[in-house]
């Protein structure tokens, strides 16, 4: 029986949206493992738009759902249409979109909040005890989703880890090729481009994360 996995995207491009390599690696691995996938994104304006060639902010507005549709080849839905009953697990790739669009962590740090539609869906997965994979900077949201005591990783960035600990998470250092699992919460995280120096390095940890999330979905099988 193939598992159904929800993937939340946060735009299109590392500096203002979803990290494209991380998103594609996630989608590729899920497909290779025979999972059914549905992408979702919030139907909101991006925090801002960054020129990915120069790194400068651009004087325009873009929509997170519309931009995420680029990665999903148009096969994506408004996150408000997502029903937890339809899915066995959830994965959230990284990129600054997680910290700028899915939340305001990039601006507020430890005092951040998660976008309400994103919070509602991720909390539903947490409360149902369904597996969740958080990639790159996305684990910064774990304490807001799971509450104090949740264990996760963003690699070894001291400032980010300190902010996460202040929010109530327990940060565990992790190599780019590895994953951290909070067994009680069925939460899996990996650093990806928080540490990766190449797409292959990013893939090594993401593939492990996807494989583990899928393994966890089978634990409830009769």
Measured between alpha carbons, how far is 155 from 134 in angstroms, rounded to an integer?
12
Q: Is 199 helix (H, G, I), strand (E, B) or coil?
A: helix
| C-alpha closest to that of 100 among 166, 161, 16 | 16
Structural contact between residues 135 and 209, judged by C-beta atoms closer than 8 angstroms: yes
Measured between alpha carbons, how far is 65 from 20 in angstroms, rounded to an integer?
14
Task: Provide the angle, in degrees to the nearest 10, between the axes of the packed helices 199-217 and 20-32.
Answer: 40
| CA dihedral for 153, 156, 160, 162, sign (positive or negative) | positive
DSSP letters spanning 63-109: BHHHHHHHHTTT-EEEGGG--GGG-SEEEE--SHHHHHTSB-HHHHG
Q: Is 171 helix (H, G, I), strand (E, B) or coil?
A: strand
Q: Which of 12, 39, 136, 152 is catalytic?
A: 136
Q: Which residues contact 12 (CB under 8 A, 6 or more apart)?
A: 18, 20, 67, 68, 70, 71
Would residue 136 show up in a list of annotated catalytic residues for this protein? yes
Catalytically active residues, by annotation: 136
């Amino acid at each position: 029986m193939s598992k159904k996995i929800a993937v939340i995207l946060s735009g299109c491009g590392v500096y203002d949206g979803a990290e494209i390599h991380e998103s594609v690696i996630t989608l590729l691995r899920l497909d290779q493992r025979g999972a059914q996938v549905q992408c979702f994104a919030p139907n909101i304006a991006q925090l801002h738009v960054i020129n990915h060639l120069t790194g400068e902010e651009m004087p325009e507005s873009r929509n997170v759902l519309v931009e995420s549709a680029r990665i999903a080849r148009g096969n994506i839905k408004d996150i408000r249409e997502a029903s937890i009953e339809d899915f066995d697990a959830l994965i959230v790739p990284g990129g600054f979109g997680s910290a700028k669009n899915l939340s305001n962590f990039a601006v507020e740090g430890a005092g951040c909040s998660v976008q309400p539609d994103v919070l509602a869906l991720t909390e539903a997965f947490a409360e149902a005890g369904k597996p969740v994979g958080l990639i790159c900077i996305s684990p910064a949201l774990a304490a807001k989703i799971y509450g104090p005591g949740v264990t996760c990783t963003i690699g070894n960035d001291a400032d980010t880890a300190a902010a996460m600990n202040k929010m109530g998470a327990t940060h565990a250092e992790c190599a780019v090729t590895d994953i951290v699992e909070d067994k009680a919460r069925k939460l899996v995280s990996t650093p990806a481009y928080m540490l990766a120096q190449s797409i292959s390095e990013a893939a090594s940890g993401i593939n492990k994360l996807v494989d583990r999330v899928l393994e966890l979905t089978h634990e409830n099988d009769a």
